C-alpha cells in the first residue's frame, strides 16, 4: 500500500492556465491522487468564494485561502487570522488621499470603498470569476476581514509598507497588491493542516508558481515550481516541472513519484 501524502496546489498558473482553464491532464491527476489514497488540498491567495466551482469540480474540501488567513480542513474552518481593524481604517484613509482604491474581503464577499475604478476592473477581470465587487465603504465594520486589495501602480505600495508595519504587501497584478496580516503566509496555513493531520515532512508536497508561493515552496519539503514560474520562485523549489499548459501538474507528480 502506498504511504499517504498530502499535496497542496496553488490555483492561478498552477492548477489553472493563464486563460483560467483547467487542463484535462490536471483533473485526471487530481482524481488519480485521491484514488491512490492521498490527501489533496488547495493553497491560494484567492478568497474562498473565488474558487468554489473549482473545489466542486475537483471534489476538494481542504484549502488554505487568502494566503493562509482562512483555512478549512475537510469542510470545517480550522484557522483564521483577520486583519488588524485599526490599521485597516488608517490605511484606507491614506489610500483615499492618494486616490488608491481598496477592496475589503471576508470569507463570503468583497466590497470596494469607491463606486468604480479602472484599476479594480483591470485586475479583477483577469481572475475570470463570476462576480464583481460592489460598493460598500463601511463593509469592514463589525466583521472579520482576511485580506484587502490595494490598487496602485508598481512601486507606489512602498509608502504603505513603511507606514503600516502590521501588514505584508504582496503584488499580484501590475495595479493591485494583496494586503495581509504581517507574517501571514500559505506556509503557516499549510502548517495548521499538516499538524492537525499528522503528516511527516517527507510526505508533504506543494506546487506553485507565483511570488506568494515562495514561502510555501521554501518550507514544504517536497516543493515543485511550475515551468511558467518566475526564476526567483524556481530558485527556492526542490523540483521544477513543465508549465501548466504543458501538463505540468501531471508531469510533476510523476517526477516526484506520486503517480
**Euclidean distance between CA atoms 158 and 134, whole angstroms:** 27
Q: Which of 10, 12, 106, 209 is catalytic?
A: 10
Residue 67: name the closest of 41, 44, 42, 40 by CA: 44
**Are residues 201 and 219 in contact, defined by beta-carbon separation less than 8 angstroms?**
no
Three-state SS for 19? coil
Give CA–CA dist 96/247, Å, rounded. 43
- The CA distances from residue 103 to 30, 83, 86, 107, 115, in Å, are 32, 13, 16, 13, 11
H-state helical runs in the chain: 24-36, 52-58, 85-97, 118-124, 158-163, 186-197, 214-219, 231-234, 248-255
Q: Of 211, 48, 5, give the one whose Cα is nearest residue 226.
A: 211
> Does 10 participate in catalysis according to the annotation?
yes
Both ends of the chain: CA-CA distance in Å?
13
As annotated, the active-site residues are: 10
Amino acid at each position: 500500500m502506498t504511504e499517504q501524502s498530502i499535496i497542496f496546489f496553488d490555483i492561478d498558473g498552477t492548477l489553472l492556465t493563464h486563460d483560467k482553464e483547467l487542463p484535462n491532464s490536471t483533473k485526471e491527476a487530481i482524481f488519480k491522487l485521491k484514488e491512490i489514497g492521498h490527501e489533496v488540498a488547495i493553497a491560494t491567495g484567492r478568497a474562498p468564494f473565488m474558487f468554489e466551482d473549482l473545489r466542486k469540480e475537483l471534489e476538494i474540501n481542504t484549502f488554505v485561502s487568502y494566503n493562509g488567513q482562512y483555512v478549512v480542513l475537510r469542510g470545517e474552518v480550522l484557522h483564521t487570522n483577520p486583519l488588524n481593524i485599526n490599521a485597516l481604517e488608517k490605511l484606507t484613509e491614506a489610500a483615499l488621499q492618494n486616490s488608491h482604491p481598496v477592496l475589503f474581503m471576508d470569507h463570503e464577499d468583497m466590497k470596494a470603498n469607491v463606486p468604480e475604478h479602472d484599476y479594480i476592473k483591470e485586475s479583477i477581470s483577469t481572475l475570470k470569476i463570476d462576480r464583481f465587487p460592489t460598493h460598500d465603504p463601511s463593509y469592514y465594520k463589525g466583521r472579520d476581514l482576511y485580506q484587502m486589495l490595494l490598487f496602485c501602480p508598481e512601486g507606489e505600495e512602498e509608502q504603505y509598507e513603511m507606514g503600516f508595519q502590521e501588514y505584508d504587501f504582496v503584488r499580484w497584478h501590475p495595479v493591485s497588491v494583496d494586503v495581509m496580516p504581517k507574517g501571514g503566509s500559505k506556509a503557516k496555513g499549510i502548517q495548521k493542516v499538516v499538524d492537525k493531520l499528522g503528516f511527516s515532512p517527507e510526505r508533504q508536497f506543494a506546487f506553485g508558481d507565483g511570488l506568494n508561493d515562495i514561502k510555501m515552496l521554501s518550507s514544504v519539503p517536497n516543493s515543485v515550481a511550475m515551468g511558467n514560474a518566475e526564476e526567483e520562485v524556481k530558485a527556492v523549489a526542490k523540483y521544477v516541472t513543465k508549465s501548466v499548459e504543458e501538463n505540468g501538474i501531471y508531469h510533476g507528480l510523476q517526477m516526484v513519484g506520486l503517480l
